[in-house]
């Protein structure tokens, strides 16, 4: 019989030395433009999800400090016990009004929100039909739920319809994202919503990478495509510059989740000071047309200037610009070379390699993310270095 130590050692040995081995590097500070590591290095940061640069916004930092002075640095418990403060309540009301829903419920992370909602809603006779490239949190929740789980072809409403046309004894939940985190493409939400509504299904959209960036006042992908899903997930770790998430829904669904969503019931709630900071982040996003314009300008410039790269550039019009390398080892080598490359201003470049199983086999990539904080000179430096590699 193998003991625990032997089992763990064997699994580590299988992965160590392969391209799938994961490691972390601590850093001192990062924003939408630069990353400063603990060994004293400075990098141009093209791997940040801080799309609007709000993680370093003085007003948001001040709001967190003021919240900490008023509430302390922790919530002290689950929202069902002592962790639901006036700051949490005010943020939920602010989010619901901004995004046009009756209710908003705060979760500690986007992962927890997706897991909590699906686990609470789905029963044995039900069915989940998800885009096959949906986030791991959605796919894992679907696989672990008692419901039937089916996947439709990526961004293909016809494939969705084929699944919807098949009978189901219970309820059906259609799941997709507003913008897909690894390919950077947008879902055809209006057609997906039409198919879902025609079949009497509910639609759940995770708009982690669209909220704050698209739509009037940054209301996101659904607002841009004039779609109102029954369940909208927004996360605060990207354009908001913080962390956490919220579920937007109607009154009755919110009350149901308060009763049955275990991630909500049994997790310590986010610090009230964080909720105060998030409220300020919402205000900055609502007034952030200049930041969104700057980001869109950087996206257009990058794509225009990246036509002659030695690698394949995916068809994304969003802040996520995947450059496909293909081979795992080659992708890691390019990423490491970028970190060691001395740019004209002596700044190195940080772009992480994304490998299977996070992405499909043979599609290892540099997941380049652009922000409003980048300058055109920053983008020129990145492109100049990339052009120096052979395909």
What are the E-state strand segments in the chain? 27-30, 34-37, 42-45, 103-107, 127-131, 148-152, 172-177, 202-206, 231-235, 245-249, 312-313, 320-326, 348-350, 353-354, 364-369
Distances (CA, A) of 378 to 43, 295, 372: 11, 13, 12
206: annotated active-site residue: yes
Q: Which residue is catalytic, options 57, 88, 214, 238?
A: 238
Q: Which residue is catalytic, options 126, 131, 177, 183?
A: 177
Beta sheet of 348-350, edge-to-edge order? 27-30, 34-37, 42-45, 348-350
69: annotated active-site residue: no
Task: Quote the DSSP letter at residue 124.
Answer: T
Determine the Cα–Cα distance for residues 235 and 32; give it in Å rounded to an integer: 17
Q: Which residue is catalytic, options 30, 49, 137, 316?
A: 49
Radius of gyration for the chain, computed over Cα atoms and rounded to the nearest angstrom = 22
Nearest to 253 by CA among 204, 198, 197: 204
Q: Which residue is catalytic, options 50, 126, 206, 378?
A: 206
Contact between 220 and 210 (Cβ < 8 Å)? yes
177: annotated active-site residue: yes
Q: Which residue is catalytic, options 88, 135, 263, 374?
A: 135
- CB-CB neighbours of 16 under 10 Å: 10
181: annotated active-site residue: yes
Q: Which residue is catalytic, options 209, 214, 263, 374?
A: 209
Tokens 């969003």, residue?
A: 318
Nearest to 378 by CA among 345, 354, 353: 345
Determine the Cα–Cα distance for residues 299 and 321; give it in Å rounded to an integer: 8
49: annotated active-site residue: yes
**How many residues are present in the chain?**
391
Coil/strand/helix, residue 268: strand
30: annotated active-site residue: no
Instruction: Give per-residue burial for 239-256: e unless 16+ CB within 10 Å, then b.
Output: bbbbbbbbbbbeeebbee
Active site residues: 49, 135, 177, 181, 206, 209, 238
């Amino acid at each position: 019989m193998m003991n625990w130590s032997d089992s763990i050692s064997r699994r580590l040995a299988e992965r160590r030395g392969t391209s799938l081995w994961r490691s972390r590097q601590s850093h001192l500070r990062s924003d939408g433009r630069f990353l400063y590591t603990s060994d004293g290095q400075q990098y141009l940061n093209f791997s940040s999800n801080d799309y609007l640069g709000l993680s370093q916004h003085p007003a948001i930092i001040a709001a967190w400090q003021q919240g900490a002075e008023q509430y302390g640095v922790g919530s002290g418990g689950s929202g069902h016990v002592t962790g639901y403060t006036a700051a949490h309540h005010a943020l939920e009301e602010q989010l619901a009004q901004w995004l046009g829903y009756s209710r908003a419920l705060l979760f500690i992370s986007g992962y927890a929100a997706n897991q909590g909602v699906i686990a609470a809603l789905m029963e044995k006779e039900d069915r989940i039909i998800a885009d096959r490239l949906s986030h791991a949190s959605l796919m894992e929740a679907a696989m672990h739920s008692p419901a039937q789980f089916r996947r439709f072809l990526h961004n293909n409403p016809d494939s969705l319809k084929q699944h919807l046309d098949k009978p189901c004894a219970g309820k059906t939940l259609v799941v997709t994202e507003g913008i897909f985190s690894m390919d950077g493409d947008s879902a055809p939400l209006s057609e997906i919503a039409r198919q879902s509504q025609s079949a009497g299904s509910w639609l759940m959209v995770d708009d982690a990478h669209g909220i704050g960036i698209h739509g009037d006042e940054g209301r996101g992908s659904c607002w841009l495509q004039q779609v109102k899903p029954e369940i909208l997930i927004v996360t605060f770790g990207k354009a908001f510059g913080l962390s956490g998430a919220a579920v937007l829904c109607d009154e009755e669904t919110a009350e149901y989740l308060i009763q049955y969503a275990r991630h909500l019931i049994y997790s310590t709630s986010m610090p009230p000071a964080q909720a105060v900071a998030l409220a300020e982040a919402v205000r900055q996003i609502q007034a952030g047309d200049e930041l969104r314009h700057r980001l869109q300008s950087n996206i257009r410039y990058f794509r225009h200037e990246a036509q002659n790269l030695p690698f394949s550039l995916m068809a994304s019009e969003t802040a996520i610009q995947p450059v496909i390398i293909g081979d795992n080892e080659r992708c890691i080598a390019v990423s490491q070379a970028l970190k060691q490359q001395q740019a004209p201003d002596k700044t190195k470049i940080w772009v992480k390699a994304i490998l299977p199983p996070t992405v499909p086999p043979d599609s290892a990539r540099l997941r380049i993310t652009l922000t409003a904080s980048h300058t055109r000179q920053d983008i020129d430096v990145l492109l100049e270095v990339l052009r120096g590699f052979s395909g």
